[in-house]
Amino acid sequence: MRMPFRLLHHDLISVPLGHRRPGIFWLRLYHGDTGHIAVVSEVPGNPSLSVTNGISQIAYYIETEFQLEAGRLVLYEIWPSGSPTGDQPTIHRVQFGQGPAWQDATRDDIEALIGAALPELPDHAELYQRVLSLGGGVTTEIIRPLFEALPVDQLPPPHNPSRCTHIDRFRQIADQHDTPDAQGRWLEHDLEIGRMFLKTLTPDDLHDCPFHNADWRAIADASVRIIETLGRRDTDEYASAASDVRLRRSDREWLVSLFSDPIFIGGGAYTNGQHRGCALRFSGAKRAAIATDDEILGEECTDWTYRGGG
């Protein structure tokens, strides 16, 4: 008669993952006369590879940490309800050969194999606190751009206007000039090409480019009024104010974009928005709202909430 499986471990594990932060998972490990069964669940606050992406390292950790006989471990992975996979738990049996392979499974499959009901994980509050005590928890910085009413004549030239109607001309100019040596200076080179490119643009060229077909002077003036009236605010507050400005619809959409998708300048070049920057340069505007730095407001938790089924 086959001996019933015995529960050896029902708790979190912290798995070394090389240069990454250790992965934190919930392990239920069983021993029976046919070997071992491991049920590994993703948990909120896991700061490293997911249970799926780290499954090979997890299997190796379990075999070495619990001194199991190699090749006799049956392993299941579970993504609980509330995790990034959705509202319903997803369960797979993982088989190892030339590489891991995942087969659909159910909780009934696991319980039939071990001959007992799977014990439940703690509720979210307790589970999450235990994960935090092991060094888990995932946060992200809350960052918002800082805007300046920057003089338009201080805007840098484009350095790679890939969506410009006249991009072929930019590339032709670049082809006619030496590329940087092995020491670099690529950005300076491309900015100089941009300056030469700008000098070639005629009124007809500007008319042919859709980025220039807006009242950028009015848009720029409105953007400056918004940041000077509101002071330092979140981008959605600026964008909300921009959506109420009395401009034709297409111009108002460009105005909103200056806050929802800012023109950003750093290190003397655009990191975003060079096509709109080119349009502003030729608009006759004096100043425009341009993002020139970021402000860190703090951190926010980005972990999910455990809702059972782990």
pLDDT, one tens digit per residue, over 253-266 is 999 999 999 999 98
Residue 96 lies in a domain: yes
Q: Which residue type does 279 have?
A: A
pLDDT averaged over every residue in the chain: 92
Domain boundary among 137, 171, 192: 137
**114 shares its domain with 200:** no
**157 shares its domain with 52:** no
Q: What is the pTM of this model?
A: 0.63
**190 shares its domain with 220:** yes
pLDDT at 2 over 60: no
pLDDT digits (tens, 9 = 90+) for 214-242: 999 999 999 999 999 999 999 999 999 99
Residue 306 lies in a domain: no
DSSP β-ladder status, 287-301 and 139-151: antiparallel
**172 shares its domain with 107:** no
Mean pLDDT, residues 156-180 taken together: 88
Domain boundary among 100, 119, 137: 137
**117 shares its domain with 211:** no
Closest residue by Cα to residue 281 from 194, 178, 162, 204: 194
Residue 1 lies in a domain: no
Task: Note the pLDDT of residue 186.
Answer: 75
pLDDT digits (tens, 9 = 90+) for 262-279: 999 988 899 999 999 999
**132 shares its domain with 151:** no
**113 shares its domain with 147:** no
**110 shares its domain with 158:** no
Task: Note the pLDDT of residue 180.
Answer: 61
Residue 303 lies in a domain: no
**160 shares its domain with 131:** no
pLDDT at 111 over 90: yes
Give the total number of structural domains in the chain: 2
Domain boundary among 80, 104, 137: 137
**55 shares its domain with 176:** no
Q: Which residue has the higher pLDDT, 303 or 178?
A: 303
- Give me the domain span that covers residue 80: 6-137
CA 232 from centre of chain: 25
Closest residue by Cα to residue 142 from 45, 234, 230, 44: 234
